[in-house]
Chains A and B, each alone.
Chain A
Amino acid sequence: MKKPKAIIFSGYGLNCEEETKLAFERAGGEADIVHVNDLVDGLVSLRRYQILAVPGGFSYGDDTGSGKAYAHKIKNHLAEEIEKFFAADKLGMGICNGFQILTNAGLLPGALTYNDSARYTVRWVDLEVAGESPWLKGIRRITLPIAHGEGKFVGSKELLDGLEKGKAIAFRYVKGDICAWQELPANPNGSLRDIAGVLARGGRILGLMPHPERAQVFTQLPHWTTLREGCVREGKPLPKEGPGLQIFKNAVAYFK
């Protein structure tokens, strides 16, 4: 069986492409990092890929609004190719800045705006799965880190109701292990209805503000040194994987 192939966009200030590539590889897939201009110039085609991922970063420095400028680049030059890509039974993902890009490009519903604090915030959050998607199989709760200044999800009441009905809310911020441990509020940015991620096209496209690729190994967890003491004293082996890897494994499994 051939390994499913993911294309990971890069360029103009995207910056999480390498660790996102590694996550797909660790999950059993293959991944190529491709500069968006090489797609625009026709040097690379989306046809060869099953999974399209726009990773996190700071495309165009968030100037004129996060994700906006990169989304225009995609819309102006790649709209047709991307439409064809998703017309087939393929998967898409936008993480953080990638999520902002995909909402601006109209591939995911809603919009992301400034955190209520209007400040860039880095911490870990607890999430609960609220929708149905191949990306989310077997996950109910998960702990991942965030790092963003414009991560507040907004949309009209109709839009939000529609997402709920359509099982298209991927993740909600909830109070879980990390929030309890570090006494943090569940919702880090004021997102409406605590939405941390959404879905489109029957769950095939996932957008989320938290970074699953930053939770792919055990030693990335904020409390791993504490968990390790527990394991050692109970004589248990140390886990190797982090919780975020399952999302990538699900995507790879979809094509197997």
Chain B
Amino acid sequence: MPSRIDVQSSITDARAAVKEKQFEDLGFRGKVERVAVVDSYVIDAPFNQRQLQRAGKLLANPLLETFSMNASTPSQEFDWAIEIGARPGVTDNMGATAREVIADGIRRKFRTSEGVYYSQVFFVSGKLTRTDAERIAEGIHNPLIQRASVKSRSEYEHDGGFGVAVPRVKLRSHSGVRKVNLEVDDKELDAIGKQGIEDRGGRRACPPELQRRRGPLALDLDAMKAIRDHFRTLKRKPTDVELESLAQTWSEHCKHTIFANPLDEIQGGLFREYIKAATEKIMEKNPGFCVSVFKDNSGAIAFDDEYLITHKVETHNSPSALDPFGGAITGIVGVNRDTLGFGLGAKPVINTYGFCFACPENLRGANSKDTIELFRDKERTQKILSPRRIMDGVVAGVNAGGNCSGIPTPQGFAFFDPRYRAKPGVFVGTVGLIPRKRGGRLLHKKGARPGNYIVMAGGRVGLDGIHGATFSSVALDAGSPAAAVQIGDPITQKKLSDALVKEARDKGLYTSITDNGAGGLSCSVAEMAKEVGLPAGRQGGCRVNLDRVPLKYPGLAPWQIWISESQERMTLAVPKEKWKELFSLCRRRGVEAAVIGEFTDSGRCVVESGGKVVMDLAMEFLHDGWVRRELISRAVRVRHGEPKEMPSTAFNDTILELLARPNIASFAHISSQYDHEVQGGSVTKPLAGRGRVNADATVTKPVLDSKQGVVLAQGLYPTYSDISVYDMAASAIDTAVRAAIAAGAHPERIALLDNFCWCDSYNPERLAQLKDAVRACYDTAVAYETPFISGKDTMFNDFKGFDAKGKPVAISVPPTLLISAIGIVPDVSKCTSLDFKMPGDAIYLLGETHDEIGGSEYAVLQSERAKKDCLGNRTPRVDAERNMKLYRALARVLARGLVASLRDMPGSHTRDDFALFSESQGRVLVSVAPSKCKEFEAALRGNAFARIGTVGGNAVCIRGWDGSVAVRIGVRAALAAYRSTFKGY
């Protein structure tokens, strides 16, 4: 019989005050009088009174809390009680920790069928109707992952509280492995590919026509035919395990088919002929800098003689659209595993983030496109969360993931455009540190050997994350699988991470490691099997027994175990003689590990379940059987109106307005909740100077006793894509490289990462834009000699759904490219920050300013004001050669300590408003001590630069062409405007 322990605060509870405000913000201002928060634990085990008392004492700190058993009544008055708990199967970290604490504290082990489940109860008093209380419940929970119930006081008292409902997962026994008939007509074959294998008795909430399908394989008809033909030659039907496995391995998410397929005349594909080609060309010139590019889970560059630095940036857009918190936390914790999975395991040392949202409702600047109500289904039952909830959830998810894992998160940005309304852009990155060598082994190299055990370590496997890889390869609609949503468990991963990179790796306990991300075991095991080291002509393989995979709960079908994306798991190749030691280490570190099979030299991927072979495919077909598709592009050009010239009398107000625009305003509310000091390596901070202004780049020391540092910077200009995608991409690179150099990077020690977030990518017009972007990447990176070392793309950021009236709506994100720069700083004591340091210092503007107003924040503002398109047509052009000459000169003066402060400036001019608001690239604003000006100017000779002013006073004063004062704004007023937008967030 389950029992319930309620823990209440016996002192003022800050959480309650914050909840009260949150409830009021849901439209009940003045109606909510008081909120009390109770933490509730349902213990699903036959505990006696004594055991329960002891458990209660373990869960409540007597100085802060009291606890009570079953049907507790809160100490204060209330009108409504709202309970929010996790749905069955959703990761419940609080419940899991409570279980561990109780088991250890009362020395009683829990059986597999027993457990502890956490929920939170809010006791609310105020003038609220039942509908009001239900709306509050709706506003604070996500039905995809959480359950909510609402009771009036009398109901609560009558029922004796919320009872002891146990959200245990109960799966109907599955039908085992099914053979799937592919000898069907094209229509059905297409349906299997697009909507999934037929299932008997669907569980998911989705339209009837999809109900009997398991969810998308995301395989097109050509791919389905290739599979059918392959099985014809084998003279048998494929099993569901085989089909699901092929779908994962061939997914856009895993194979990056858009970048790999021939496009027009580019027969080798965009990746090979542009991105990789750029890197190869640069590597010839600068050997030794890039150590591992594109082939591993992260890219790696040289840090010093002893260490390598790795970096990887991921996107987690689709999951974040469904559950922002869960999507973001699994994103950040997931990309940490790309670090653990680099070589034989790098230690995560820095996180980065980048968010693209629609503007939250109630924020100045939000328009109807930002706040439109959207639904995934025609019946309007599956609502897209509001922009505010998406933003808050994503911000909180990265907070929880990064902070809990003890990885500093200094560098990031937030960008706003209504086209991210249904699919936000959620970029998360992790930098890793790995010694070059340990025990005679080069740590960036790995390879399983035949006979090595396949070991799964970390979390267990559940239904969560089924179809994540294929799901992110298609547009978000009503068929999007709810099981794709998961919640991360950073502590389980932290324990795993510490055990691996701080102990097992250096003891040489495994020969290869990779993370379980997209596609779960099906992808990680098959990838490692492909890399099994063998003499030429022979191919690696694997044999897996699914019965040996540790499960969260019984009843999973074999195909589900094989492709589940349950988090916090790594797959390792372990020599048999090392298994005992690894297992013992894991046990002592609270990490679960199990042998699930063996790597072989069979060239086949063989999977067993229940004593039967349920998958037996040639590795060659699994990895290379996918069908190439000829892609065709068609360029179009759109003309926009030009912004009207603004009279100089309007400059002051316009500048203040620009400073307050969400894309420019302070996002200190995000930076100051992400720990950037942990691990002790912070050098220049995300919030710089007296004004705590968001910096464009941050420097961190990954090796504390080295004087070298790592600088991180980012560039992203989706608005430019409306005019020129080429300039969009070139500007992103220029911005990231410039910020990195300004922050102290050595110009010859900078590498880039590309993250393409595209839309509707089979559309020839979108492909033409992609081609432009990739050409710009090649041209600019080669000119700057900054190689790409890693990248990730997500090509279908499209939404197809319905508005509040049931009318179909389609929204695509603008073509988006995030460029992340990572650079090495030779001596961190030479770094500087963006704030002006001393009155009297000279201000210089380096670089040239042109009439490049197209797509600028100013042009967007003008368009909004005029309520028509006057976005302009001339985006900033990057003159890479000229810029690089300037940057090299700048790096030299920085190394000599001539510069007191600098900020890289995002954005021959003819108009004062253009001069002020142009986003011409290649420019840097610098302040220099008066005594150093001569030396500074001499060092920059041959570059465009001008002394434009002096630091001092308490206002910003700018003169126009004619010498009259065009701008005069008090620093206080500017700061207030800059901070006004997200005040209270």
Instruction: Name the residue of chain A whose CB is nearest to the CB of B59.
Output: A64
Q: Which of B404, B494, B672, B831 contacts A121 (CB 8 A)?
A: B672
Asked if residues A119 and B673 are in contact (CB atoms below 8 Å), the reply is: yes
Instruction: Name the residue of chain B whose CB is nearest to the CB of A159.
Output: B63
- Within A236-256, the residues touching B (CB, 8 Å) are 238
B676 within 8 A of A: yes
Q: Which of A16, A219, A226 contacts B406 (CB 8 A)?
A: A16
Asked if residues A15 and B678 are in contact (CB atoms below 8 Å), the reply is: yes
Instruction: Name the residue of chain A whose CB is nearest to the CB of B709.
Output: A219
A13 within 8 A of B: yes
Which of B93-101, B152-160, B781-789 makes up part of the contact surface? B93-101
Which of A81-89, A168-176, A193-201, A210-218 makes up part of the contact surface? A210-218
Q: Which of B61, B98, B682 contacts A104 (CB 8 A)?
A: B61
Asked if residues B677 and A118 are in contact (CB atoms below 8 Å), the reply is: no
Q: Which of B58, B498, B671, B690 contacts A10 (CB 8 A)?
A: B498
B589 within 8 A of A: yes
In the bound assembly, the distance between CA atoms of A149 and B18 in angstroms comes to 13
Q: Which of A22, A110, A152, A211 contacts B63 (CB 8 A)?
A: A110
A109 to chain B, nearest CB (A): 9
Asked if residues B494 and A15 are in contact (CB atoms below 8 Å), the reply is: yes
Asked if residues A60 and B491 are in contact (CB atoms below 8 Å), the reply is: yes
Task: Provide the residues of chain B in CB contact with A15, threshold 8 Å.
Answer: 405-406, 494, 678-679
Q: Quick one: given A220-B682, A233-B838, are A122 and B675 in contact (CB under 8 Å)?
A: yes
Q: Which of A62, A117, A229, A232 contacts B18 (CB 8 A)?
A: A117
In the bound assembly, the distance between CA atoms of A68 and B39 in angstroms comes to 14
A104 to chain B, nearest CB (A): 6
Asked if residues A229 and B828 are in contact (CB atoms below 8 Å), the reply is: no
Which of B9-17, B292-300, B421-429, B509-517 makes up part of the contact surface? B9-17
Which of A1-9, A34-42, A46-54, A129-137 makes up part of the contact surface? A34-42
- Within B813-855, the residues touching A (CB, 8 Å) are 828-829, 831-833, 835, 837-838
A75 to chain B, nearest CB (A): 9
A26 to chain B, nearest CB (A): 9
- Within B674-695, the residues touching A (CB, 8 Å) are 674-680, 682-685, 689-690, 692
- Within A86-100, the residues touching B (CB, 8 Å) are none
Task: Provide the residues of chain A in CB contact with B404, threshold 8 Å.
Answer: 13, 58, 61-62
Task: Provide the residues of chain A in CB contact with B97, threshold 8 Å.
Answer: 60-61, 63-64, 69
In the bound assembly, the distance between CA atoms of A14 and B502 in angstroms comes to 13
A185 within 8 A of B: no
In the bound assembly, the distance between CA atoms of A155 and B94 in angstroms comes to 25
B64 within 8 A of A: yes
Asked if residues B104 and A73 are in contact (CB atoms below 8 Å), the reply is: yes
Asked if residues A18 and B690 are in contact (CB atoms below 8 Å), the reply is: no
Asked if residues B105 and A72 are in contact (CB atoms below 8 Å), the reply is: yes
> How many residues on A have C-beta within 8 angstroms of the other chain's C-beta atoms?
68
B590 within 8 A of A: yes
Instruction: Name the residue of chain B whose CB is nearest to the CB of A111.
Output: B63
Task: Provide the residues of chain B in CB contact with A13, threshold 8 Å.
Answer: 404, 406, 490-491, 494-495
B706 to chain A, nearest CB (A): 12
Instruction: Name the residue of chain A whose CB is nearest to the CB of B834.
Output: A225
Asked if residues A229 and B679 are in contact (CB atoms below 8 Å), the reply is: no
Q: Which of B104, B403, B837 contacts A76 (CB 8 A)?
A: B104
Task: Provide the residues of chain B in CB contact with A10, threshold 8 Å.
Answer: 498
Asked if residues A64 and B94 are in contact (CB atoms below 8 Å), the reply is: yes
Task: Provide the residues of chain A in CB contact with B494, threshold 8 Å.
Answer: 13, 15, 58
Measured as residues with beta carbon below 8 angstroms from the partner, the interface class of chain B is 35 or more
Q: Which of A61, A115, A238 contacts B93 (CB 8 A)?
A: A61
B353 to chain A, nearest CB (A): 14
Specify which of B404, B589, B674, B679 lies most central, judged by the most chain A CB atoms within 10 Å of its CB. B404
Q: Which of B9, B100, B588, B678 contacts A147 (CB 8 A)?
A: B678
Asked if residues B673 and A65 are in contact (CB atoms below 8 Å), the reply is: no
In the bound assembly, the distance between CA atoms of A195 and B588 in angstroms comes to 37
Q: Which of B11, B15, B96, B588 contacts A154 (CB 8 A)?
A: B11
Task: Provide the residues of chain A in CB contact with B701, threshold 8 Å.
Answer: 219
B363 within 8 A of A: no
In the bound assembly, the distance between CA atoms of A218 and B98 in angstroms comes to 41
Asked if residues A232 and B897 are in contact (CB atoms below 8 Å), the reply is: yes
Instruction: Name the residue of chain B whose CB is nearest to the CB of A152.
Output: B14
Task: Provide the residues of chain A in CB contact with B15, threshold 8 Å.
Answer: 114, 118
In the bound assembly, the distance between CA atoms of A56 and B101 in angstroms comes to 20
- Within B81-110, the residues touching A (CB, 8 Å) are 93-94, 96-98, 100-101, 104-105
Q: Quick one: given A37-B589, A122-B675, A220-B682, are A117 and B406 in contact (CB under 8 Å)?
A: no
B900 within 8 A of A: yes
In the bound assembly, the distance between CA atoms of A161 and B462 in angstroms comes to 52
Task: Provide the residues of chain B in CB contact with A116, threshold 8 Å.
Answer: 14, 17
Task: Provide the residues of chain B in CB contact with A38, threshold 8 Å.
Answer: 588
In the bound assembly, the distance between CA atoms of A73 and B590 in angstroms comes to 13
Asked if residues A154 and B63 are in contact (CB atoms below 8 Å), the reply is: yes
Asked if residues B679 and A19 are in contact (CB atoms below 8 Å), the reply is: yes
A234 to chain B, nearest CB (A): 11
A222 within 8 A of B: yes
Asked if residues A72 and B829 are in contact (CB atoms below 8 Å), the reply is: no
In the bound assembly, the distance between CA atoms of A114 and B491 in angstroms comes to 20
In the bound assembly, the distance between CA atoms of A64 and B64 in angstroms comes to 12
B21 to chain A, nearest CB (A): 10
A68 to chain B, nearest CB (A): 6
Asked if residues A155 and B63 are in contact (CB atoms below 8 Å), the reply is: yes
B399 within 8 A of A: yes
Instruction: Name the residue of chain A whose CB is nearest to the CB of B63.
Output: A111
Q: Quick one: given A19-B704, A122-B673, are A61 and B490 in contact (CB under 8 Å)?
A: yes
In the bound assembly, the distance between CA atoms of A214 and B704 in angstroms comes to 11
Asked if residues B589 and A145 are in contact (CB atoms below 8 Å), the reply is: no
Asked if residues A68 and B491 are in contact (CB atoms below 8 Å), the reply is: no
Asked if residues B491 and A120 are in contact (CB atoms below 8 Å), the reply is: no
Task: Provide the residues of chain B in CB contact with A158, threshold 8 Å.
Answer: none
In the bound assembly, the distance between CA atoms of A110 and B675 in angstroms comes to 25
A156 to chain B, nearest CB (A): 8
Task: Provide the residues of chain A in CB contact with B689, threshold 8 Å.
Answer: 223, 226
Asked if residues A69 and B101 are in contact (CB atoms below 8 Å), the reply is: yes
B704 to chain A, nearest CB (A): 6
In the bound assembly, the distance between CA atoms of A173 and B15 in angstroms comes to 22
Asked if residues B98 and A63 are in contact (CB atoms below 8 Å), the reply is: yes
Task: Provide the residues of chain B in CB contact with A28, threshold 8 Å.
Answer: none
Asked if residues B63 and A118 are in contact (CB atoms below 8 Å), the reply is: no
Task: Provide the residues of chain A in CB contact with B101, threshold 8 Å.
Answer: 60, 64, 68-69, 72
Task: Provide the residues of chain B in CB contact with A113, threshold 8 Å.
Answer: 9, 11, 13-14, 64
Q: Quick one: given A37-B588, A122-B673, are A18 and B679 in contact (CB under 8 Å)?
A: yes
A183 within 8 A of B: yes
Asked if residues B705 and A35 are in contact (CB atoms below 8 Å), the reply is: no
B929 within 8 A of A: yes
Task: Provide the residues of chain B in CB contact with A119, threshold 8 Å.
Answer: 18, 673
A188 to chain B, nearest CB (A): 10
Task: Provide the residues of chain B in CB contact with A123, threshold 8 Å.
Answer: 672
Asked if residues A214 and B837 are in contact (CB atoms below 8 Å), the reply is: no
Asked if residues B673 and A35 are in contact (CB atoms below 8 Å), the reply is: no
Q: Which of A61, A65, A190, A214 contacts B491 (CB 8 A)?
A: A61
In the bound assembly, the distance between CA atoms of A72 and B490 in angstroms comes to 20
Q: Which of B14, B61, B399, B829 contacts A68 (CB 8 A)?
A: B61
In the bound assembly, the distance between CA atoms of A76 and B105 in angstroms comes to 6
In the bound assembly, the distance between CA atoms of A122 and B701 in angstroms comes to 18
Q: Quick one: given A12-B491, A12-B495, A37-B589, are A19 and B680 in contact (CB under 8 Å)?
A: yes
Task: Provide the residues of chain A in CB contact with B61, threshold 8 Å.
Answer: 65, 68, 104, 111
Q: A68-B101, A122-B671, A233-B838 are in contact. List 16 more A-B contacts (CB 8 A).
A: A11-B498, A16-B406, A58-B490, A60-B100, A61-B404, A63-B94, A65-B59, A65-B65, A76-B105, A120-B403, A122-B675, A154-B11, A183-B690, A225-B832, A226-B833, A226-B835
19 cross-chain CB contacts under 8 A: A12-B491, A12-B495, A15-B406, A19-B679, A58-B403, A69-B97, A104-B61, A120-B675, A122-B674, A147-B675, A149-B403, A213-B680, A214-B677, A218-B829, A219-B701, A219-B829, A225-B831, A225-B832, A226-B837
